[in-house]
Every structure is written in C-alpha cells, then in structure tokens.
Structure 1
Amino acid sequence: MKKRYAVCGVSNRAIGMFIGPMLKTFSAHAELVGLLDIDPRRQEVCKSKYPELADVKEYGPDDFAQMVSETKPDVIIVTGRDDTHAPYIIKALEHDLDVMTEKPMATTGSDARKIMDAEAKSKGKVIVTFNYRYSPIHTKIKEMVLEGKIGRVTSVDLNWYIDTYHGASYFKRWNRIRENSGGLSIHKSSHHFDLVNWWIDQTPVDVFAFGALNYYGPEGELNPEKVDGRHCSTCEVRRDCAYDARWNTRSKTMSVKDDHLGTVQTEKAAYSTYRPDACIFDSEINIEDTYTATVRYDGGALLSYSVNFSVPYEGYRLAINGTKGRIETVEYHIPNRVPFPTPVQTIDYFPLFGSKETIHVVHREGGHGGGDPVLLEDLFLGADPNRTYDILSGSRDGAYSIGTGEAVWRSVKENRPITLDEVLQVKDSVPATV
C-alpha cells in the first residue's frame, strides 16, 4: 500500500533528493499529496520540473494543520531551512505522523530535546536522513569495527577539509547566520559527529574546542573592500576577489552550488528576498569557519576533530585506533575540483601485530559517495532485511550529533568544556569545569 507524503520546505534538496525519486523510482510505494513553503515561487519551480504534480495542493508556512487535515499524509518530509526543522517535526509528531527530516534535525540542543520529548508522547517516529552513513567506504568501516578488527575503539582522528568553492558557498547563504543554521559546527559537522558516533557505537559525553572566523567576514584577509550588502553577480570589485576568480572566468556568471535553490538567483529571478550570492565578507556573518575539538565518549574513546572551510581541496583524513589495530582512509572529494591527481579511496587496516592490508571497496554511482540511492531504498521500501546492523538514524542520533556541534561552539565562546547533558538538557546535568 502506498504511503502518503507531504513536504515542508520545497527546497532544491527536497526536489532532487525526495520528490524526484518518489515520482520516478518509488511511485509504487509513495504518493506526494502536499507542498508547504514560505515562498509560492518554490512550489512553482517544483511543479514546472514535474508537471505531474500540477494537482498537488500547496500551503503556506502557517497552514500545517490545514494541510494535514486536507491531504491526510502518513509521513512529513522536512527539508526547509535548518531553523524550520524543529517546529514542523514537533507539529507532525503532535499529529501522530512519522517524520523524515534532513540533517540537522534541529539547530539547538534545546529543540532536539523538545523533539525527543514529543516523539516519546507520539505514535509517530523520526528518521534523520544521514546519508554519509550509506557511503560504501563508511559502511565498510562500520562492518570492520563490528567484526572486531581493531578491538575496543580508543581514539579517532578526523580532519575534514572544505574547499574554497564549497566553503565559500556557506558564507553566501543563510547558513552564515547562527540563528538560521546553528553555525557550521551543527549544519555541517553534525554529519561528521554522527558518523563517528555510529562507527564506534559510543555516546559523546563532553567537548572542549577552539574556533575562529579566519577567512570570511569583514576582517577576512582577502576582502577586496570593506563594504556591506554586495552580491557576487553584481559586485563592482568581483574581479579583485580571489574566491570568485578561482572558480569563475570574466565571461561567466556565478554558479554557486546551493542545496536549497540550485544555481544562483539573480535579482530578476529571486526567490522572495533570498539570494544565495551574498558577499562572503559581510559584517553580518556571525559563525566560525575553523574548528578544532576534542570529544570524550562514554565507552572511553577520544575524538580529535578539525574542520576548515577554506582549503585548496576537499576531502577528509580518518584514523580509528583500537586495542587490536588501526583503520586509516583518505578521501579527496569531487576530484574535478582537486588541483592534482587523486587516487581511488581505499581503506588501510593495520593489525596491532602483523602486516598492513589495503581494502578496495566497490564504489557506487549516486550522491554522497553512492550513499543517497541506498538511503532512499531504506526510506521508501523499508530497511534492508539482509543488513545485519542498524543504519537509519533516529531522533537520539540526530540529537547527539547536534548536541556535539552546539557543545563545540559553546566551548569556543565560553572557553570551557561543555557536557552533552547540559546541551541536551538531561535532568540533573552539571556544567563541566576546567
């Protein structure tokens, strides 16, 4: 029997990741019955891409109850701006509906706690669509840890690099305002923290971190002129901006990758008042672009984490150490943007006593390292019965990834360790001290 789905937030991500596959791949299992968004133009764009949706009902941001009453969905898909996630998730749970939400599930630990409390009272359940778990490399690492290849996990080193194209895009968009996104330690790093939590099957306890705004904002060393309110597509000093010149020739317009709207919107084709080509050197930017953090887990593992949003290439370096050995892997993401030849990603396994093994993993087509297609199968067909471990994320997973991200920036701000109990408002929690 088909399940009925309604979408809150008709973003580019909603259209490409969920709506298109529902129509083209999972039409026997899923039916789209409602579209809710603050901007009617987004619904127009969605229907122009998929004319078969012409009769699907459209709703404004305050029409959630009406949408539920009229369309009777089984599942709500939440894919709007990050700060809209928690309100719609909670409303859906209050209507006893299941929820599939993009990461991050919320932008604060407080809202994550509200979601978990609402779910406990509801017949509905929350799935957080952490697609990084589904990458073939990442699932293989999970399987190796489960097999006991490295014994009890003692420490993890994870260094993540975001290149000047992708990194700058966050500072052109709504992400640059903490109130919208929770900052990049939540919007982006929650992906990374969830991976580590899942790989090692331990719960983060407390965090100490440093962070800064090194590259973007008005004090960025490559800012050609301290002027607010500029947009890349109309900027008079654009050719003096190294970030723009790196990725664009003089004869081409900007083509900013944007998870919510796709290519850059000009003044003539803007969605409401939102343009994803704001200047990366604006003074309104109030988030960091560089973090280092140490996380302690309840099973004794320690995570050494860093992320930098202005690096010449994109990818990550990972090492997981255990009582019986070590796993290493290096990824160069989006090879056509890396300014040197890159090898196919493999996994190196070092037993504590013995010879190194290099493991070649079968790579798949599809977004996020081939993870998206498999995630979609689990979402619309149900979890693969042949898989021997849990992979779909729930509200607790979402909460602890968010909680770790909030603990990072709060530690930066307050210069002290921050406990996850504090952030997630666990009863009888006590603030950490230096």
Structure 2
Amino acid sequence: MKKRYVICGVSNRAIKMFVGAMLDQFSEMTEVVGLLDIDPRRFSVCKSIHPELDSVPCYSQDQFEQMISETNPDTVIVTGRDDTHVDYILKALVNDLDVIVEKPMVTKAEDCQKIIAAEEKSKGKVTVTFNYRYAPVHMKIKELILAGKIGRVTSIDLNWYIDTYHGASYFKRWNRIREYSGGLSVHKSSHHFDLVNWWIDQKPVEAFAFGALNYYGPEGELNPRKEDGRYCGTCDVRQSCDYYTRWNSRSQSAVVKDDHIGAIGLKNGHEHYTDYRPDQCIFDSEINIEDTYTSTVRYNKGALLSYSINFSTPYEGYRLAINGTKGRIETTEYHIPARIPFPVPQQTIDYFPLFGSKETIHVVHKEGGHGGADPIMLEDIFLGVDPSRNYKILSGAEESAYAIGTGEAIWRSVKERTPILLDKILFPNSEVHR
C-alpha cells in the first residue's frame, strides 16, 4: 500500500529531489496527494516539470488543516523557506503525522524546544534530511571512529570554504535576512555541526565565536557603487562587479547562473515566482548576516571543535582533521571541480595511528547530489533504513536541535562577545542537560 505525502513549500528542493524521486524510483510505494505554498506560480512550475501531478490539489499557506482533512496523508514533507518550517511541523505533529523536513529544521533554538515537546506528545516522528551524513566519505569516517581507529576523540579541526558562485547566491536571495534563515551559521553551518556531532557522538555544550560581514553588504570592498535596490539582471554597473563577471559573460542572464534557482531550469526566476527575485544585489544594505566565522565548540565528553567558514573564496571545499587518543584522520575535499581553476585530486582519507604508519583510504564515490549522498538518504527515507548498516544515520528532532543550537550560539557569541551555553538557549526551562 502506498504511503501518502503532502508537500509544504514547493521549492526547488521539493521539486528537484523529493517529488522527482517519489515519481520515479519510489513510485510503487509513494504518492504525492497535496501541494501547499504561499505562491500559486510555484504549483504551475512544479506541474510543468512533473505533469504527473496535474490533478493533485493545491492549497495556500493558510489551508493546512483543510489539506490534511481532504488528502488524508501519512507524512508531511516540509521544504519551504526556513522560517516557515516550525508552523507546519507543529501542525503535522498535532495531527499525529510523520514529518520529513529539509535542514535546518527551524531557524531558532526556542522553536527546537517547541518541536521536541510536541513530538513527545505525538504519534508522529520528525526526520531531518541532513544529507551530508550520507556522503560515502563521511560514512567511512563514521565507521573508522566506531571501529576505534583513533580512540576517544579529543579535538576536531574543520575549515569550510564556499566559493564566490555559491557564496554570493545566499546574498542574492532570502537567506541574507536573519529573520528568514537564522543566518548562515544556522542555515548552512548547521549541516557541518550535525556532521561533527554525529561523527563523534558527543553533544555540544558551549560555543564562542568571532564573525563579520567582510565581502557582501554595502561596505563590501568590491561594491562597484553604493546603491540599494539593484538586481543582477538589470544592473547598469554589473560589468564592474567582479562577482558577476567571474561567472557571467556580457550576453548571459545573471539569474541562470544562480546555483539554486537555475537548477530547475527556470529561464528567468523572477518571471515565475510572485514578489521574489533571486538576483538581488549582494551589496544591498538590508543584508544583516555574517559571511565569515571562526569558532570553538566544547562537547560534553571533552572534545573541542575548531571551526571556520568563509562564504567568498576562490574555490569550494573543506579541510578536516579529527584527533583521538589513538590516532588522527585527515581529509580534504574540493567541491565541484568544474568551478575550480586548477587540477584537484579525488578525495581520500588519511589515517595516522598514534604509533605506526600512515594509511590512505580510497572510498568508492557514488553518483548523485551532495557527493552521492542524496540517493542513499532517499532510500532510507522511502524504503526504510538499510538493515545492513550497524549505526544510526537518519537525524531526528533532538539531533537537529543541537546543530541549530550551535549555529545560534555562534552568531549570538559574535554579537554579545561572550561564550554561549547551549542549554540556556535550547532548553532554558530544564535543569538537566538532555
């Protein structure tokens, strides 16, 4: 018998990954029975890409209860703008429905507490799609740690680099407003914090950070002219903007070059969506988030994380080292080699025992989004967790809360210039650390 799904937020992520997968490889066990969004144009875009959904009913953002009553779903998939997640998750749990939600689960630590409390009272369960866990290299690192290869984890160094193509896209779109995204320490870095938390099986306790808006916003040093309200597609100084000219020729549309909107084949994104353009100027004064962080996180079993992220670098990828009482793991990833202006090696893992010889581990890389992670995660979601795997990998509400809490603690630390205890923002009414 097919499970019935409704989609809250008909976004690129919903259209490209979830809906496409359900209509293709998982069509025998899944059925999309309802679509909900604030913008009716998104229904048209979705159905033009997936005409199989032509007869599926559509609902506005205030018709959630009507949709549940009329479609009788088993599961709610939440893939809209980050700040909209919390309401749909809570409503789904009240109706005893399972929830699959795109990361970040919510944008604020206080909303995490609401969802955890609601889940405890509900027959429904929250699953958060932290797909980075499923990348073959990341799964292998988890297995090495579980096998005791490096002993007890004592410290982690993680430096993440976002190139000028990907990094600038966050500042063209709604992500640039903290009210909508929680800032990039939540929207993006929660991915990374979840990875570390999962790898080492420890809970973050305290965070301290510095951060700044170095590249984007009106004071960005490469801003060709201080003026609000510009759009890449119509800007008269775009040929003087290095961020534009690196990725666009004079005859190309800037919108097509956005790595999120362009992914679903929209010729001009602003023609399809109401009151929304994904090519806003990256130097606009409404931007109120940071583009650079460096931070330290302390964990409940003694590990220490040194983390940094920069959203305007010449290439994209990360460098990771995990130290333990018996050894060290190192790996470097160069993400999307087609956007890197020099040859890059395929990612491997180097294992250094504390006493002994180095081993280089070659991991079998797989096809699919996020380094081969998406197809594996979708199988776990729609087919059930792979029974041959001997460790937990799908993320739940509480695990997601710690990733979000770390992200919020970091931007609060930047603003307040003091260390932030996660308990105080995640579980302020609890006397016991969860």
TM-score (norm 1): 0.97
Q: Pick from 315, 318, 343: which aligns with 2:317?
A: 315
Paired AA for residue 286 in structure 2: E
Change (3 A) 1:417 1:267: closer
Identity %: 71
Q: Pick from 410, 422, 425: which aligns with 1:423?
A: 425
Contact between 1:265 and 1:277, CA under 8 Å: does it hold in 2?
Answer: no
State the Cα distance separating 1:50 from its structure 2 match. Answer: 1.2
Change (3 A) 1:135 1:261: closer
- Given the alignment of the two structures, is residue 90 of structure 1 paired with residue 90 of structure 2, yes or no? yes
State the Cα distance separating 1:264 from its structure 2 match. Answer: 6.5
Distance 1:336 1:150 in 2: 34
- Given the alignment of the two structures, is residue 221 of structure 1 paired with residue 213 of structure 2, yes or no? no
Change (3 A) 1:279 1:265: farther
Look up the SS of the partner of 1:234 in the other structure.
coil
State the Cα distance separating 1:253 from its structure 2 match. Answer: 1.1
State the Cα distance separating 1:52 from its structure 2 match. Answer: 1.2
Distance 2:142 2:428 in 1: 28
Change (3 A) 1:355 1:77: same
The aligned counterpart of 1:206 is 206
Show CA shifts across 1:38-75 (max 9, x none).
Answer: 00100111111111111101000000000000000000
Paired AA for residue 186 in structure 2: I
Contact between 1:265 and 1:271, CA under 8 Å: does it hold in 2?
Answer: no
Paired AA for residue 135 in structure 1: A
State the Cα distance separating 1:422 from its structure 2 match. Answer: 1.2
Paired AA for residue 102 in structure 2: E
Distance 1:142 1:66 in 2: 43
Q: Pick from 273, 276, 279: which aligns with 2:275?
A: 273
Distance 2:360 2:158 in 1: 19
Query: Any residues of structure 2 matched to 1:67-146 within 5 Å, and which?
Result: 67-146=67-146
Contact between 1:209 and 1:411, CA under 8 Å: does it hold in 2?
Answer: yes
Q: Pick from 304, 316, 341: which aligns with 2:306?
A: 304
Change (3 A) 1:195 1:422: same
Look up the SS of the partner of 1:233 in the other structure.
coil
Query: Any residues of structure 2 matched to 1:35-434 within 5 Å, and which?
Result: 35-254=35-254, 255-258=257-260, 262=264, 266=268, 269-428=271-430
Show CA shifts across 1:330-377 (max 9, x none).
Answer: 000000001110000000000000000000000000000100000000
Contact between 1:136 and 1:362, CA under 8 Å: does it hold in 2?
Answer: yes
State the Cα distance separating 1:269 from its structure 2 match. Answer: 1.1
Show CA shifts across 1:103-161 (max 9, x none).
Answer: 00000000111010110110000000000000000000000000000000000000000
Show CA shifts across 1:206-238 (max 9, x none).
Answer: 000000000000000000000000000000000
State the Cα distance separating 1:425 from its structure 2 match. Answer: 2.5
Distance 2:115 2:270 in 1: 39
Distance 2:426 2:262 in 1: 28
Distance 1:425 1:138 in 2: 29
Change (3 A) 1:297 1:267: closer
Look up the SS of the partner of 1:294 in the other structure.
strand
Paired AA for residue 420 in structure 1: L
Distance 1:184 1:291 in 2: 9
Contact between 1:326 and 1:350, CA under 8 Å: does it hold in 2?
Answer: yes
TM-score (norm 2): 0.97
Contact between 1:13 and 1:259, CA under 8 Å: does it hold in 2?
Answer: no
Distance 2:270 2:84 in 1: 26
Contact between 2:137 and 2:363, CA under 8 Å: does it hold in 1?
Answer: yes
Contact between 2:109 and 2:425, CA under 8 Å: does it hold in 1?
Answer: yes
Moved more, 261-270 or 385-394: 261-270
Contact between 1:11 and 1:259, CA under 8 Å: does it hold in 2?
Answer: no
Look up the SS of the partner of 1:307 in the other structure.
strand
State the Cα distance separating 1:243 from its structure 2 match. Answer: 0.3
Change (3 A) 1:428 1:124: closer
Moved more, 315-324 or 270-279: 270-279
Paired AA for residue 109 in structure 1: A
Moved over 6 A (4+): none
Contact between 1:404 and 1:420, CA under 8 Å: does it hold in 2?
Answer: yes
Change (3 A) 1:149 1:87: same
Distance 1:338 1:218 in 2: 27
Number of residues of Structure 1 aligned to a counterpart in Structure 2: 430
Contact between 1:130 and 1:191, CA under 8 Å: does it hold in 2?
Answer: yes
Look up the SS of the partner of 2:88 in the other structure.
helix
State the Cα distance separating 1:270 from its structure 2 match. Answer: 3.9
Contact between 2:45 and 2:272, CA under 8 Å: does it hold in 1?
Answer: no
State the Cα distance separating 1:297 from its structure 2 match. Answer: 0.2
Look up the SS of the partner of 1:389 in the other structure.
coil
